Chains A and B, each alone.
Chain A
């Protein structure tokens, strides 16, 4: 037990944040706040139409789009959808890859072979192309977007976690637990998972940024959820309804900035978090 506690303590020491992570956390925090407080912050109903192409003014801080919807309100509500899809996808990705890596790393043998084979096949799939195919042919909606992105996004995390689980299983404190006949499930949850915490968190943050990036691309291509207005959707209309050509900067610039900033926020958390956990990005 004491070995494990030491390992645990070392783990908690490592999670102390560095400057880059604090920046990342601050950015993410602001966006989460905006998403939660959207109804309070948004000055207008994002779906209400009005006079089109108004330049930024006191009334419409970021102007209006081609059908006169207030862009600031669209942007604020868009935060909800972009974040929701990013975070939800990341949760699915993390849970799936954690489960698979625990199974394959702990039990080894046939399960490990099967999981590795599935991982290899999935890594051979062109991810963006598959996601687009699925979204195009599934019924449109947030859920299809989330499922389609998750389907190929879990492989990286699963690989890293698996090799870590394999390492952990060779350590004395796990061997001791097994020797005294502790339940496998309890060993995994109480002893292995806590030691994976740093990796899981940093990979989860990276997954959010990757999923948000994919979602931004998809909805920019007009393939996301039609009803929901994410940042990518705003950019889609700005691009295809000539907002870019006519240089209505208040239309295309804010969604670009928001997407980039949010992705950067999660990336900073994940990338520098991974460095803290002594995990090189492409390990």
Chain B
């Protein structure tokens, strides 16, 4: 058990290392001057015009004149010490910018994770338990459709109907400004209502399909027949045997969703002007602000790896088959 956790942790660390290396190589081997990627396109041409000396100084700072290997060492050092440089958009450290935005993204994604997880589990259990019943027949196509449609498509429809036509919700942004305390919280909630609803819908749809297939599979297992033949009631079979077993794979996949907390809502953020990390990443890519885009990328990747690791550990902790080393996932 402990051996397994250590092994998985080592693999996770190696994966993160590989990802950081990939993002280093990406800047150096992309078409175009790497310096341009590092300082941002607009800034690059501006400096090229006004002060090539400054540009040269930045090249020195990033060590672009050194050998690739020295650059790599330097890059790794600054990554480990969390020194990602200064963003040219507002002269703040890139790390501060990204972390500030990440907070706003979490404001959307944490409730999505919790509510979407619960709703998906409950609805999925009902549909899977009464497979082919009315509830299943009505809900499955609807949620399958929701799970299918691109986020930006439904996002725009929501925007048109609820913000423009009905005027119930603001079109854009996160706060109206000038408020404090409770009214500010309410205001943020009001601004976040549309993107949040959408994200919860999508997440519920995904989780629903997952839970439904888990439950419906377990329902047909032999030990369920045994449970019935012992004379257990429907409810007891459902809660003691079916739900308990169906929850295990569900929880592990929830852990994997934890990894997407920061990177999963980009399109929705862009459409609703929610200044979260996804939106920051998008605008960083658009303005060719590579350090910011790179940091967003690395942070999202670390989250995903951590989520996967967590699900690996959890599955080992709760599944006795793996605990005893009899069963390899």
Contacts and interface: CB of A to CB of B under 8 A. Distances in A.
Contacts of B152: 216-217, 220, 232, 235
A129 B292 CA distance: 12
What 4 pairs between A and B have smallest CB-CB spacing?
A126-B300, A137-B30, A256-B153, A126-B263
A122 B30 CA distance: 19
B263 A281 contact: no
B274 to A, nearest CB: 15
Interface of B: 11-12, 15-16, 18-19, 22, 26, 30-32, 37, 144-145, 148-153, 156-157, 159-160, 164-165, 171, 209-210, 213, 217, 249, 253, 260, 263, 266-267, 270-271, 281-282, 285-286, 288, 293, 296-297, 300-301, 303-305, 308
Interface size class of A (residues with CB under 8 A): 35 or more
A222 B283 CA distance: 11
A264 B148 CA distance: 6
Contacts of B16: 124
A137 B26 contact: yes
Per DSSP, are chain A's interface residues mostly helix, strand or loop, or mixed?
A: helix
Contact of B144 (A139, A245, A247, A271): A271
Nearest to A123: B308
A12 interface: no
A206 B149 CA distance: 13
Contacts of A126: 260, 263, 297, 300-301, 303-304
A282 B281 contact: no
Contacts of A209: 148
Contacts of A223: 285
A188 interface: no
Contacts of B159: 244
B270 A129 contact: no
Given A121-B19, A124-B308, A125-B301, A260 B153 contact: yes
Interface in A239-253: 239, 244-245, 247, 249, 252
30 contacts: A117-B11, A121-B15, A123-B304, A123-B308, A124-B16, A125-B22, A125-B304, A126-B304, A128-B266, A132-B285, A136-B288, A213-B148, A213-B150, A216-B150, A216-B152, A217-B267, A220-B267, A221-B267, A221-B270, A232-B152, A235-B152, A235-B156, A244-B164, A245-B171, A260-B148, A260-B149, A260-B150, A260-B153, A282-B210, A282-B249
